[in-house]
Chain A
């Protein structure tokens, strides 16, 4: 197929086709909401919204994912509510009672990991978590679960298995937290542990080895032929390429250096490796659409129905 077409299709479709991270389990959404509510500061608001959001979470209908709801509330709602709460405190004259003092200080309680670069932030969060600060751990979960998820999926786990492995990795961290000491950093530990658990999972559970990848047909782009073809092509890539693409295309640029360490490459070589993987994917995609007899012209033959 044409080089430019392959580039266009893959570049546009790949994130849509493979970004199925949203369906992580319930417990993670609950943790994210609890963390978001704590950021509101004022203790009466924290308590009220913790319960309110957990209750509404149970009512999230099938099409929205629970984590999507949680992230939406935390990313959009929490900053605005914080501002409203601060304005409210400013409007009301402060009575100098101990209760009021706690209320304000709950919001300004030091979060020592703020404003730090990623490695330092993780190190500080680990240290604080060791001291019993649950918020610190929640920060890590919220930030790093996409990484864990994509490594799990890149290691050929189906979605259920990936969910369970994601939970297991965090549980393992919780249990080993007291003696956690990873000089190469938390992200490396997470990647290594996830791969290990994924391997164990694949050996324990032979049926987890999917030769027909589970297409999430709730995603609109996968209801049409080109999306499905790209999906199949992606899952024909070797594990290492899948993982590489997931981490560099779907997670974030932040992880390039981590990926480099894991693959034993220099950071610049990651870009080249990613380019190679994309090239491989384009060729496989070309095979798939030829095999399916699909047309080569994007505009007329498919439309992505956006929700």
Chain B
């Protein structure tokens, strides 16, 4: 696992999504949850993958005639601590983002905050 060069705010937003509770994270979903443009997020995910922080995989094994498969992204377990440290270092807090609202850790556990855009992005 390599360290990340050029950690931008967008990278941190993407990491907050990746450490969040959502499953089946495909590029568009990550971009929406992070509030970032897809054109910015795909390259970030590629960098994370090349650095060994993220794995990606097809939603099913074979390309059948059910159409194109989505590519799911998952934080590599070995990168979880690194991601948390990075967020703590740059933002002073480790937050998670999900597509249904933002979760913020408190001292006593996890409390759900409304993201303000209503339920269900």
A197 → chain B, closest Cβ, in Å? 30
Across the interface, do A81 and B68 meet the contact criterion of CB distance under 8 Å? Answer: no
- Among B26, B27, B42, B58, which residue has the most Cβ atoms of chain A within 10 A? B42
A55: CB under 8 A from chain B?
Answer: yes
A167 → chain B, closest Cβ, in Å? 20
Stretch at the interface among B32-40, B81-89, B90-98: B32-40
B50: CB under 8 A from chain A?
Answer: yes
Stretch at the interface among A20-28, A69-77, A271-279: A69-77
Query: Would you give the 0/1 interface string for B49-85, flagging 1 where the beta carbon is closer than 8 Å to chain A?
Result: 0100000001100010001111100000000000000
Interfacial residues of chain A within 45-91, with CB under 8 A of chain B in the complex: 48-49, 51-52, 54-56, 58-61, 69, 72-78, 80-81, 84, 88
Report B-chain residues with C-beta under 8 Å of the C-beta of A81: 42-43, 46
**Given that A77-B43, A84-B50, A88-B50 are known contacts, is A55 also in contact with B26, CB under 8 Å in the complex?**
yes
Complex Cα gap A264–B12 (Å): 56
B: contact size bracket:
20 to 34
Across the interface, do B43 and A52 meet the contact criterion of CB distance under 8 Å? Answer: no
Across the interface, do A52 and B46 meet the contact criterion of CB distance under 8 Å? Answer: no
Q: Write the chain A residue with the least CB distance to B71.
A: A52
Across the interface, do A72 and B37 meet the contact criterion of CB distance under 8 Å? Answer: yes
Across the interface, do A51 and B63 meet the contact criterion of CB distance under 8 Å? Answer: yes
Across the interface, do B43 and A55 meet the contact criterion of CB distance under 8 Å? Answer: no
**Given that A51-B63, A56-B27 are known contacts, is A73 also in contact with B69, CB under 8 Å in the complex?**
no
Q: Write the chain B residue with the least CB distance to A80.
A: B43
Report A-chain residues with C-beta under 8 Å of the C-beta of B40: 76-77, 80
Partner of B69 from the list A55, A61, A76 (CB cut-off 8 Å) is A55
Report B-chain residues with C-beta under 8 Å of the C-beta of A77: 38-40, 42-43
Across the interface, do A84 and B46 meet the contact criterion of CB distance under 8 Å? Answer: yes
Q: Write the chain B residue with the least CB distance to A51.
A: B68
Partner of B71 from the list A55, A58, A76, A84 (CB cut-off 8 Å) is A55
Report A-chain residues with C-beta under 8 Å of the C-beta of B37: 72, 76
Partner of A69 from the list B38, B43, B70 (CB cut-off 8 Å) is B38
Q: Write the chain A residue with the least CB distance to B44.
A: A80
**Given that A51-B63, A56-B26, A56-B27 are known contacts, is A76 also in contact with B39, CB under 8 Å in the complex?**
yes
A188 → chain B, closest Cβ, in Å? 33
Across the interface, do B70 and A59 meet the contact criterion of CB distance under 8 Å? Answer: yes
Report A-chain residues with C-beta under 8 Å of the C-beta of B69: 51, 55
Across the interface, do B42 and A55 meet the contact criterion of CB distance under 8 Å? Answer: no
Q: Could you list 26 examples of A-B contacts with CB < 8 Å?
A: A48-B71, A49-B42, A51-B63, A51-B68, A52-B27, A54-B67, A55-B59, A55-B69, A55-B70, A56-B38, A58-B68, A59-B70, A60-B28, A69-B38, A72-B37, A72-B39, A73-B38, A73-B42, A74-B39, A76-B37, A76-B39, A77-B40, A77-B42, A80-B40, A80-B43, A84-B43
Interface residues, chain A, with chain B CB atoms under 8 Å away: 48-49, 51-52, 54-56, 58-61, 69, 72-78, 80-81, 84, 88
